[in-house]
Each structure stands twice: as C-alpha cells, then as structure tokens.
Amino acid sequence: ILTAGIVCAAGSQVLFFIHYRCMTLDGIGMYSFYVLSKLLQVAAKFLLMSVLLLVAQGRCVSHPLEHQDARQLLMVLGPFCLLVVVLELWGELSTSRTYT
C-alpha cells in the first residue's frame, strides 16, 4: 500500500508538470491532466491514511492484512476522498473566478 501511495504521488507530480508546461507554451494547459493529477494526489493521501489506520488497528503488525480490512477502509474512507476531490476542485474554480 505504501508503494502505491508513493507511485500515485509521483504520478501526480508528473501530470502537474505536464499540465503547467503546456500552460507556459499555449496559455491554456491540459485540464484533464490537472484533474487526473488531483485525483492521484488524493489517492496518495488516501493510501497513506489507510496505512496509518491499519497500523493503529494493529493490522499488518500483529495480524496479517486481509481483504476484508481493505474493503472496510474503502467503505469508510472512499466517500470522504471523493468529497475531498470535489471540494478541492470547486474551491480552486471559485478562487480563480474572483480574479476575473
């Protein structure tokens, strides 16, 4: 899980770089890369939160990780992570509209 979190964070930074590089060239950028990088960034945060919650529950330390543990974390943190993505994109869109 930790490796997947690191890969998601690195992929997010690569997509941010591509988006902002295109923005410097044409002034518009690639909004799909921007949204995908935000999704990867939240996924990385989600995976790191999952590791912390699993360790706090004693999983992966005194008990092996089971599919039910991962499913339970997905049901608890999944809606929260989707809400975080929506609120981040909405907040940045509303902030960008105040300068026009």
Say how far apart CA 9 and CA 1 lie, in whole Å: 12
Residues 5/11/16/19 CA torsion (nearest 10 deg): -150
The pLDDT score that the predictor gives to residue 60 is 76
Say how far apart CA 5 and CA 53 lie, in whole Å: 14
The pLDDT score that the predictor gives to residue 99 is 62
pLDDT along the chain (100 residues), means of 10: 92 95 90 92 91 85 82 88 88 71
pTM over 0.85: no
The pLDDT score that the predictor gives to residue 54 is 87
The pLDDT score that the predictor gives to residue 65 is 80
The pLDDT score that the predictor gives to residue 100 is 55
